[in-house]
Structure 1
Amino acid sequence: MAETAKTQFVTADNGVKFAYRRFGKASDVPIVHHIHFRGSMEFWDPLLVNTIAQYREVILFDNAGTGQSSGNVPTTFKGWASDLAAFIKALGLKQVDLFGFSMGGIAVLQTALDYPELVRKLVIAGARASVPEKGPVEGIIWPQEQNPPEYTTKLAYAVTAEEGKEGLKYACFPETDRGEAAFNEYWARISTRTAEPLRLDLLPMDPQGNNQYVALVDALTPQPNNSFDRLGELKIPVLVLNGDADMVVPTSHSYELLKKVDNAQLILYPRSSHGFLWQYAKRVGEDADRFLDSVDFD
């Protein structure tokens, strides 16, 4: 399981040596997980991924320039998608399911658009598409809702491990006793890994975290052929997940995905923010498993 899976390495055709972990029940189509801003695979909640792993093989990985992988973080999400596709092919996999959280959600969405032959089903958690090239857009509340900047800037400005921990709590959990307790439980769970020494430092901002931020700015700049304007190309089943009060990626953007992707369904989790998938880790894992096994939206 996540706590005991050993880190492995594979070098892809793009020259990147990717770090990854594989565990769970053997399955024809494994599910690959892509993590958030400044994160590595160390930050995946064991309760979440172990719940999913009861029924299928789970693959966690560090994208180029993050965690234990070599290379540099691309400054566009098309670059992130290219890296993810290279990693999948390096493992010899013909098709996978993808689960992306936050910036990782933007990346897996772009991957499904650019490499549709590789992706069977898609789970997008706490993420959004890019902005449309032109607006307003029919059926979408306009202007699009913007997130309060302090939730991401606190995470971006964190330098020490303790500041990173506090930044994650502030950005991802409600400022309530319930939110405080949920964060502490999440942090305790990711601290139980025994296979190797813990690596709970966030990705340094200079230069790789800054590259991630540049990729986000690029995605939120109106331009031709961005992901929002291509959402109609998605024909695979898509599960969109979010908290009902996400302060990092406003929940309204999840409704946009539901509206624009023909084969999408949406689940919102109550009294939660960006870290809903940690606050409701077991429930999110169970919902993901039901979606991945279902034929209702195939």
Structure 2
Amino acid sequence: MMIHSRPEMIHTHQTAPTQFVEANGIRFAYRRFGKPGGVPLVFNQHFTGTIDHWDPGVTDGLAATREVILFNNAGISNSSGEVPTTFEEMGANAIAFLNALGLKQVDVLGFSIGGFVAQEITLQAPELVRRLVLVGTGPRGGQNMATLTPEAQQIFGATYKVPEEIWLKVHFTDSEASQAAGREFLKRFLRRTENRDPEVNEKVAPAQIEAIGKWGVQREGSYEYLKTILQPTLVINGDNDVIIYSINSWILQQNIPNAQLIIYPDANHGSQYQYPERFVGHVSMFLSE
């Protein structure tokens, strides 16, 4: 017997079904849930991450007041196609995905390299983007961004008895409080067990690293493009991001005309996962202004 979800049934991060839509010759996997109506919030994911690498504490928190859309861009997990080696192409694919859903206006959130994609969406289709949230990310040609930072190389190059514990190093500082928050995050992160996304294949990381190299190279006037992002923008990071150094969030805020910056204390790359309630409060307030 097939059970159809009733229109009045509100899904959560745990229960939202994975759906597919075709665009640009790519079959995109996505999930939509939360409060329908209004402008949806579209999430763009970090290095080697899938839909299931988002924190339900963040997605469900934001879904209480708006619809959220999580998706795997081309070549990621259960989306078809190849991962492009430029963020411009990743942005174009994301726009094709949003157009295929028939969306006329969205708010865009990008985390880490998802923040590069979010900037590209905004640059290539400014009429599509109402507001922009950039988390743990940086500009083209930012500081120490042409390669993985030494800390990131060490973290991603190490082996972990429990594979998921890599995220305790990527997203959290070594302090007792931050690591405790990290362990709470891992519990939330692993809670969805049914219809969970497959992890990415071995082609993803090299393609994304190549794209990072092109994005991160410093040129004269690297930050000029940021002045053309006119959307209200919220920039959030931890005070000790070792993956994309925190100074890059300041550079974003200084160059995007209508940007504000929030820095969370004793926090690394995943500051939003260390302080999910605080993050949800700040983002919700910003999006409803």
- TM-score when normalising by structure 1: 0.87
1:193-212 alignment, distance < 5 Å = 193-194=192-193, 196-199=194-197, 201=199, 203-204=200-201, 206-212=202-208
Deviation at 1:217, TM superposition (A): 0.2
CA distance in structure 2 between the aligned counterparts of 1:127 and 1:198, rounded to whole angstroms:
26
1:169 corresponds to which residue? 168
**Structure 1's 148 and 222: CA in aligned 2 closer, same or farther, altered over 3 A?**
closer
**Structure 1's 6 and 168: CA in aligned 2 closer, same or farther, altered over 3 A?**
same
Please say if residues 135 and 237 of structure 2, whose CA atoms lie closer than 8 Å, have aligned partners that are also in contact.
yes
1:31 corresponds to which residue? 41
**Structure 1's 115 and 40: CA in aligned 2 closer, same or farther, altered over 3 A?**
same
Could you tell me which runs of 5 or more consecutive residues in structure 1 were left unpaired when the two chains were aligned. 133-143
Deviation at 1:222, TM superposition (A): 3.7
Give the letter aligned to residue 180 of structure 1. Q
CA distance in structure 2 between the aligned counterparts of 1:29 and 1:255, rounded to whole angstroms:
27
Q: Which secondary structure does the structure 1 equivalent of 2:237 belong to?
A: strand
Q: Does 1:21 align with 2:23?
A: no
Deviation at 1:156, TM superposition (A): 3.8
RMSD: 2.1
Q: Which secondary structure does the structure 1 equivalent of 2:139 belong to?
A: coil
Please say if residues 62 and 68 of structure 1, whose CA atoms lie closer than 8 Å, have aligned partners that are also in contact.
yes
Deviation at 1:250, TM superposition (A): 1.1
**Structure 1's 120 and 130: CA in aligned 2 closer, same or farther, altered over 3 A?**
same
CA distance in structure 2 between the aligned counterparts of 1:220 and 1:52, rounded to whole angstroms:
30
The percentage of counterpart residues that share the same residue type is 38
Please say if residues 151 and 170 of structure 1, whose CA atoms lie closer than 8 Å, have aligned partners that are also in contact.
no
From 86, 90, 97, give the equivalent of 1:80.
90
Deviations 1:24-71 (A, max 9, x none): 001231010011001001011001111111111000000111121011
Q: Which secondary structure does the structure 2 equivalent of 1:48 belong to?
A: helix
Q: Does 1:63 align with 2:73?
A: yes
- TM-score when normalising by structure 2: 0.90
Deviation at 1:93, TM superposition (A): 0.4
Q: Which secondary structure does the structure 1 equivalent of 2:226 belong to?
A: helix
Deviation at 1:224, TM superposition (A): 8.6
Instruction: Count matched residues.
Output: 277
Q: Does 1:181 align with 2:201?
A: no
CA distance in structure 2 between the aligned counterparts of 1:189 and 1:90, rounded to whole angstroms:
31
> Would you identify which runs of 4 or more consecutive aligned residues in structure 1 move more than 6 Å?
158-161
**Structure 1's 159 and 95: CA in aligned 2 closer, same or farther, altered over 3 A?**
farther
Deviation at 1:117, TM superposition (A): 1.3
Give the letter aligned to residue 90 of structure 1. A
Deviation at 1:237, TM superposition (A): 0.3
**Structure 1's 214 and 54: CA in aligned 2 closer, same or farther, altered over 3 A?**
same
From 231, 238, 246, give the equivalent of 2:233.
238
CA distance in structure 2 between the aligned counterparts of 1:168 and 1:148, rounded to whole angstroms:
16
Please say if residues 43 and 108 of structure 2, whose CA atoms lie closer than 8 Å, have aligned partners that are also in contact.
yes
Give the letter aligned to residue 172 of structure 1. H
Please say if residues 237 and 262 of structure 2, whose CA atoms lie closer than 8 Å, have aligned partners that are also in contact.
yes
Deviation at 1:157, TM superposition (A): 3.5
Deviations 1:96-123 (A, max 9, x none): 1001100001110111011111111000
2:277 corresponds to which residue? 282
**Structure 1's 79 and 223: CA in aligned 2 closer, same or farther, altered over 3 A?**
farther
2:15 corresponds to which residue? 4
